[in-house]
Structure 1
Amino acid sequence: MSAPERPVPSPCVNICALDDDDICTGCQRTVAEITRWSRMDNDERRSVLALCHERAKASGLVWMLPARR
């Protein structure tokens, strides 16, 4: 039997400020995504991370994100 999967870590970078669209300028999550993070399973978290990456690319902040694995 394999060990349980470790939780996908939060993308929080301790730069917590919302833009005009209520997206965090640090992690690119919505307020709802931030609020729900601790109750999400890993599949949901990976989906949110993909959305964060797309938001960062669209806003020109992709250089700030760690390389995707």
Structure 2
Amino acid sequence: MTKEIESPCVSVCQLKGDLCIGCGRTMEEIRHWKAMKRPEKRKTVKRAEERLKKLLRD
């Protein structure tokens, strides 16, 4: 059995535009998280991490 990919949510649900500044996901990604397949979740987590890094630099 494959390990479930946990949501990057850190319970700091605050939006800046369409982006959550807590987890780095877009509203669309948050809405579709449960329906995403494992590869899509991995890509989403990676993109969210990159967005958060960029937010911290700005």
The two structures share one fold, judged by TM-score above 0.5 = yes
**Higher normalized helix content (fraction of residues):** 2
Q: Percent identity?
A: 37
Between 1 and 2, higher relative CO (CA 8 Å, sep ≥ 6) is seen in: 2
User: Match of 2:8?
Assistant: 11
Displacement of 1:41 after TM fit? 1.0
Q: Which runs of 4+ in 1 moved over 4 A?
A: none
Specify the structure having the higher radius of gyration (Cα).
1
Unmatched runs of 5 consecutive residues or more in structure 1: 62-69
Unmatched runs of 5 consecutive residues or more in structure 2: none
**Higher normalized strand content (fraction of residues):** 2
**TM-score computed with the length of structure 1 as normaliser:** 0.77
Instruction: Tell me the number of residue pairs that the alignment of Structure 1 and Structure 2 aligns.
Output: 57
Supply the RMSD in Å over aligned alpha carbons: 1.2
